[in-house]
Amino acid sequence: MKVFAGLVVAASAISNRIEEKNSWPGNENAHYCGCNLVLDPELYAGPANTIINSTCTLSFPYAQDDPHFVSVASAYMLGRDRISGSNDVFKFTGFDEVSNPDVLDILVFYEPQDCVKPGRSIDEIEQLREEGRQSEIWEIFQNETAPFCQIALECRNEPENQPPPGVYLGNFNYDIARSVQTYTVPVYGLEQGQEVTFNIYDYKNETNDCYNAQPHVGHGFIEDGSCSMDNSTGIPRCGNSITFRQNSEHQGLLEYFSFEPISPANSAVCWNKPLHHVENYKWQTPSPWDTQQNFQQPSREEFP
């Protein structure tokens, strides 16, 4: 199964009271359950009626832990709310000309432990295999998919309906069928020639080392950073820091760069497990929400 988080649903002509909810359970070969919701903001975004220039908060009451992955197509991250005592509040906004004002396209994947029935554990799979009881594995997983689509969503307009100032990340495109891939990162709000540094974090708010950071042609330049390649040796620098400088000749609203998270397959030199333990490799997904939360907005004096 392939799901692409960057999909933007067609706009206002089809947004008349849209409400589509498509959920899926986990199974032995694809542990991650989840839901895709396509919604009319006027029904779910409260008095603001739109995500444009609003502060929106989104949470998933079903999740016992951080979701594996959360996307709001064409939205831009404001960060995570971990102060309130809840670990799954995601904050976002929308901007004119780059966000869809008429449709909310939300995608969530849950961690395997949230995909099993109450009282069961994902760790039972290996035990049942060893005992020759493969036919019982399906009984571990939750077969009621409706809870996966539970959300709490509220949007409030910014003062004077103005966008929040600063630099903001869009969705990291993500294909759950692949453990190693290139993430494309949209950036909104950069001034001409401005340089910023992003430290990549995962959904546990832990540093997520990366590899092979590259600018999209014409959009800017990757400066020295621990996520870049050491050109003198051809060896990855093995860190989570990406420094991007906007191309002052580019006049677009969005800039783009890309990166790969490290893995035993693409950068074994950076992998901190012994290579004979790669069969225990567990994927941690880079999070634009946590990356944005940890981003230090630069002062206007820091760029030309």
CA dist 37 and 60 (Å) reads 12
Question: What is the pLDDT at residue 14?
Answer: 42
Average pLDDT, whole number, for the chain? 83
pLDDT, tens digit (0-9, with 9 covering 90-100), for 14-56: 445 678 999 999 998 888 999 999 998 877 766 777 889 999 9
Residue 181 and residue 120 in one domain:
no
Question: What is the pLDDT at residue 217?
Answer: 92
Task: For residues 284-298, give the mean pLDDT.
Answer: 93
Residue 154 and residue 186 in one domain:
no
Residue 160 and residue 179 in one domain:
no
Q: What share of the chain is helix, strand, coil (3-state, %, to 5)?
A: 15, 30, 50
Q: Is 93 exposed, middle or buried (0-12, 13-18, 19+ CB in 10 A)?
A: buried
The C-alpha angle with vertex 299 and arms to 258 and 168, in degrees rounded to 5, equals 35
Residue 85 and residue 176 in one domain:
no
Collapse the DSSP code of 115 into the 3-class scheme (helix H, G, I; strand E, B; otherwise coil) and give the result. Answer: coil
pLDDT, tens digit (0-9, with 9 covering 90-100), for 142-166: 989 999 999 999 888 867 778 889 9
pLDDT, tens digit (0-9, with 9 covering 90-100), for 81-90: 876 556 579 9
Residue 208 and residue 132 in one domain:
no
Residue 214 and residue 177 in one domain:
yes
| Max CA pair span of the chain | 66
User: How many structural domains comprise the chain?
Assistant: 2
- Cβ(164)–Cβ(78) below 8 Å: yes
By C-alpha distance, which of 195, 169, 164 is closest to 288? 169
- Integer CA distances (angstroms), 1 to 17, 26, 283, in order: 28, 12, 17
- Structural domain ending residue among the three candidates 164, 188, 205: 164
89 — phi, psi (to 5°)? -95, 120
CA dist 266 and 269 (Å) reads 9
- Structural domain ending residue among the three candidates 130, 164, 198: 164
DSSP secondary structure code for residue 193 in this structure:
T
CA dist 283 and 69 (Å) reads 12
Residue 72 and residue 181 in one domain:
no
Residue 13 and residue 130 in one domain:
yes
Range of the domain at 154: 1-164
Question: What is the pLDDT at residue 86?
Answer: 61
Task: For residues 166-171, give the mean pLDDT.
Answer: 96
Residue 129 and residue 188 in one domain:
no
Task: For residues 175-182, give the mean pLDDT.
Answer: 65
The C-alpha angle with vertex 181 and arms to 28 and 175, in degrees rounded to 5, equals 50
Whole-structure pTM value = 0.85
- Structural domain ending residue among the three candidates 164, 181, 210: 164
Q: Is pLDDT at 245 greater than 60 in this prediction?
A: yes
Residue with tokens 């060893």: 130
Residue 6 and residue 81 in one domain:
yes
Question: What is the pLDDT at residue 301?
Answer: 56
User: 250 or 223, which is more confident?
Assistant: 250
Residue 75 and residue 178 in one domain:
no
Residue 179 and residue 105 in one domain:
no
By C-alpha distance, which of 180, 207, 204, 183 is closest to 63? 204
Binning pLDDT at 50, 70 and 90, where does residue 96 land?
Answer: very high
- Sheet containing 241-246: which strands, arranged edge to edge? 195-199, 241-246, 220-222
CA dist 203 and 291 (Å) reads 9
Question: What is the pLDDT at residue 78?
Answer: 96
Binning pLDDT at 50, 70 and 90, where does residue 175 land?
Answer: low
